[in-house]
Amino acid sequence: MDLMTSLQEITKLSHLYYERQWMYATAGNLSVRDRSSWEQFWITASGKHKGELKETDFVSVSVADGTLVSAKEGLKPSAETSIHQVLYSQMPDVGSCLHVHTLDSNLLEFGVEKTEGYRDIPIPPIEMIKAFGIWDEKPSLTMPVFYNHTHVPTIANEIKRYFVTEGIPKVPFLLIEGHGPTVWGKSIAEANKHLEAVHFLLQVMARRV
């Protein structure tokens, strides 16, 4: 898939997520790795309304250090670019990362302390887990939940610390408490599948509280 086709696909998802009330106003950010230059990725520019996003509303960022590679005049990277950069740099096979703000992900409270940075939270072994490629019967799984620091690079550093000390999560997503989930996949389609499954999973967890 060429870059323009990828950006068009991400743009369509942005509009869909807005309609689903997952990306109200300018919330959330979506990115895709540039397959012609695997060492950079394209992410939604800061301040763009996700229901009106266009294929030109993206900027290119280095996977290695998160520096801006290319952008139209007046565009700057999303505030959460540092989180995407950590995910791409820690998982070389990941081709897309999607971050949204769903209602249930904000209603759930796990009490992660600022001093902790993160905590592994058990998730129910529901059938939808198979969407993550996990086929074990009633698997005992957890999801990493991170404290919502105001300074986003601090969250990114905590995510990197988790990956280095705990390893890559068995599930293809993480949650920032009081903020929203971030998912990843080898392709945009796979990342979208994971996001839909995560949305359902968090709905189930919110209703069990």
Q: Can you say which residues are annotated as belonging to the binding site?
A: 99, 101
Q: Provide the angle, in degrees to the nearest 10, between the axes of the packed helices 152-166 and 81-90.
A: 20
**69 membership: H or E segment, kind and range:** strand 68-70
Q: How many CB atoms lie within 10 A of CB 37?
A: 13
Residue ranges of the binding site for Zn(2+): 99, 101
Q: Does residue 140 contact residue 122 with C-beta atoms inside 8 Å? A: yes
Tokens of 190: 């796979």
Q: Does residue 49 contact residue 15 with C-beta atoms inside 8 Å? A: no
* Nearest one of 66, 113, 71 to 90, comparing CA atoms: 66
Q: How far apart are CA 70 and CA 80, in angstroms?
A: 17
Cα of 86 vs its chain's centroid, Å: 11
User: 3-state SS of the chain: helix, strand, coil percent to 5?
Assistant: 35, 20, 45
